[in-house]
Amino acid sequence: MTPIDASLRAPSAFFTILRQELVLLWRERSLPIVLLLLTAVLAGGLADGLQRIDQKDAQLAAIAAEQNKQWDTIATMLKAAEEAKTPTPYASPRVLGLSPANRSVSLPTLPLAPLALGQSDLMTNLLRISGYSEAQFLYDTDIENPWRLTSGQFDAAFVIVFLLPLLVFGLSYNLLSAEREQGTLRLLLAQRVSPASLALGKGAARALALAAPLLAAPLAALLLFRPVADASALLADWLLWSTLALAYGLLWLALAVLVNSFGRSSAFNALALVGAWVAVTLVAPITLNLVVDTIHPALSRAGMIELETEATDESARRNADLDRVDYSRKQRPADGAAPPSAMAMRGKNMQKEISERLRPWVEEYEARDQTRRDFVDAFRILSPAAAVLEGMSALAGTDADRYARFRLAAAEFFRDKTERLQSRLESGVLVTEAEFRAAPRFEWSEDRPILLLRGAWSLAQILVPTISIAAIALWRLRRIPV
């Protein structure tokens, strides 16, 4: 008699179960229904994300075009004035400051932005530099109906974080319990199939079926409807993003196997899984939010306003003697210089003084914001839903961290501009075309390693519980009640 090769039996059983399970799920219509639902909600999420990000891109492109046009217009006028040797008001040093040609700074969207809108509806990708201090423009927002912000987004990340687990439950809450309730579990195990192989085969069938739309739909949407500047970077980001989505789906599948391993009824399994889903996606994130607000509360905006009012009043008093108009003063520059008016000097002095007074507040706010984000990064492992949403947003470039880096860069640009302008304005020396063209303009520098690292950190936070739950489930399955 030929001995049974145990090393071959398990994989063979696994693939047989996998194949049979796919056929059964398809015939009993639960698989096509779930796939249809998943594809429909994913398509809806992708359409919403694409529409929102396309609108944002169009706005950023229009602003960039308008600024470039104004930049060229000023440069052309300076050139014409230089050639004609006729002074022009545009040659005033003020043009090096925050002229309409460089008043806006923008944060470009990333290729994966339509997949996870993150904080992009709350934070703006466009800051219009204005006012006496960076505190007055750094926290600007776009116009949005608060109802929409309160309702939340319907993007692909929402579908994955909130709805995917429920679809996983729909297919797997009775993974083994249904077999037991129908009396077929005993028969199956009598075929020398181990409970682990049975659960793995059944689980793999569901994972493969759900993975297809999860992998294909986002990539197809990005390739079809978004410009691809760097295909390899896009593929790398998409791979990490998709791995996050799959790992998250596997986490819930592993939990379904674990719950089934207790040998309770299908109704109990459904209750337990929904309970876990409520705890992980609804209760844990808001509780964690509450904890971070209690331990590291955000700096008070009322305090900032109070400080700003005080600083403005004090600065106005200090510069009171400049608060006047010299009606006899000539408006056009002469002798290669444009000495500033008293009002212009008052404006510059106040900008410097108020900005310096508010800078510590801005720095403290940003430091506190960083502490709060670090706290969430460390503890979001308690809610895989929060970990996956944050990771997806990081890879899409829509997380709070990237917006904070954008604010820091904009603040630095503002300080640099205003400080250089201060001394130049006092001298009144006129600006040449070459000097104007060489003046620094804001350019965002992307830190890709940080994005990838944040995505990978989220993946690690998902994989740890996924592997642990899967291991416990397989261990428990050794003695599953039949």
Residues 74-113 touching other proteins, rule: CB under 8 A, are none
Residue 371 in contact with residue 149, Cβ under 8 Å? Answer: no
> Is 252 an interacting residue with respect to other proteins (CB under 8 A)?
no
> Is 408 an interacting residue with respect to other proteins (CB under 8 A)?
no
> What angle in degrees, to the nearest 10, is found between the helix axes of 195-225 and 231-260?
150
> Is 372 an interacting residue with respect to other proteins (CB under 8 A)?
yes
Binding other proteins (rule: CB under 8 A), the pick from 194, 243, 289, 341 is: 289
**Which residue, 167 or 425, has its beta carbon nearer to other proteins?**
167
> Is 299 an interacting residue with respect to other proteins (CB under 8 A)?
yes
> Is 415 an interacting residue with respect to other proteins (CB under 8 A)?
no
Binding other proteins (rule: CB under 8 A), the pick from 23, 231, 239, 320 is: 320
**Which residue, 320 or 367, has its beta carbon nearer to other proteins?**
320
> Is 152 an interacting residue with respect to other proteins (CB under 8 A)?
yes
Shortest distance in whole angstroms from residue 93 CB to other proteins? 22
Binding other proteins (rule: CB under 8 A), the pick from 103, 373, 415, 420 is: 373
Q: Could you give the residue ranges of the DSSP H alpha helices within 397-447? A: 400-427, 433-438
Q: How far apart are the two ends of the chain, measured CA to CA in Å?
A: 31
Shortest distance in whole angstroms from residue 298 CB to other proteins? 4
Q: Which CB contacts under 8 angstroms, 24+ apart, belong to 332-336? A: 332/87, 332/89, 333/87, 333/88, 333/89, 333/91, 333/92, 333/428, 333/430, 334/87, 336/429, 336/430
Closest to 98 (Cα-Cα) out of 58, 135, 62, 134: 134
Tokens of 324: 């006047």
Tokens of 349: 């002095």
**Which residue, 318 or 437, has its beta carbon nearer to other proteins?**
318
Binding other proteins (rule: CB under 8 A), the pick from 112, 400, 410, 459 is: 400
Output the DSSP codes for 319-369: TGGG----TTS-SS-BTTB-PPPHHHHHHHHHHHHHHHHHHHHHHHHHHHH
Shortest distance in whole angstroms from residue 11 CB to other proteins? 33
The answer for residues whose C-beta is within 8 angstroms of residue 30's C-beta and 6 or more apart is 170, 171
> Is 271 an interacting residue with respect to other proteins (CB under 8 A)?
yes
> Is 119 an interacting residue with respect to other proteins (CB under 8 A)?
yes
> Is 242 an interacting residue with respect to other proteins (CB under 8 A)?
no
Binding other proteins (rule: CB under 8 A), the pick from 293, 364, 412, 416 is: 293
| Binding-site size, other proteins (CB under 8 A) | 87
Q: What angle do CA 232, 233, 239 make, to 5 degrees?
A: 90
**Window contacting other proteins (CB under 8 A); options: 67-75, 196-204, 282-290, 463-471:** 282-290
**Window contacting other proteins (CB under 8 A); options: 84-92, 169-177, 256-264, 412-420:** 169-177
Binding other proteins (rule: CB under 8 A), the pick from 26, 43, 108, 154 is: 154
> Is 310 an interacting residue with respect to other proteins (CB under 8 A)?
yes
**Which residue, 289 or 422, has its beta carbon nearer to other proteins?**
289
> Is 147 an interacting residue with respect to other proteins (CB under 8 A)?
yes
Tokens of 149: 């912000």
For residue 482, the 8-state DSSP code is -
> Is 144 an interacting residue with respect to other proteins (CB under 8 A)?
yes
Q: How far is CA 364 from CA 14, 130, 178, 405, 412, in A?
A: 57, 21, 57, 15, 15
> Is 41 an interacting residue with respect to other proteins (CB under 8 A)?
yes
Binding other proteins (rule: CB under 8 A), the pick from 35, 50, 198, 389 is: 389
Binding other proteins (rule: CB under 8 A), the pick from 14, 71, 90, 158 is: 158
Q: What angle do CA 357, 358, 360 make, to 5 degrees?
A: 95
Q: Which amino acid appears at position 325 of this protein?
A: V
β-pair partners for 334: 337
> Is 369 an interacting residue with respect to other proteins (CB under 8 A)?
yes
> Is 328 an interacting residue with respect to other proteins (CB under 8 A)?
no
**Window contacting other proteins (CB under 8 A); options: 68-76, 291-299, 419-427, 473-481:** 291-299
Tokens of 86: 């006729």
Q: How far is CA 436 from CA 372, 412, 427, 429, in A?
A: 41, 20, 16, 13
> Is 290 an interacting residue with respect to other proteins (CB under 8 A)?
yes
Segment 54-73, which members bind other proteins (CB under 8 A)? 55, 59, 62-63
**Window contacting other proteins (CB under 8 A); options: 3-11, 241-249, 365-373, 463-471:** 365-373
> Is 179 an interacting residue with respect to other proteins (CB under 8 A)?
no
> Is 267 an interacting residue with respect to other proteins (CB under 8 A)?
yes
Q: Could you give the residue ranges of the DSSP H alpha helices within 173-300? A: 177-182, 184-190, 195-225, 231-260, 266-277, 284-295
**Which residue, 402 or 417, has its beta carbon nearer to other proteins?**
402
For residue 114, the 8-state DSSP code is G
Q: How many CB atoms lie within 10 A of CB 73?
A: 13
Shortest distance in whole angstroms from residue 121 CB to other proteins? 9
Shortest distance in whole angstroms from residue 251 CB to other proteins? 17
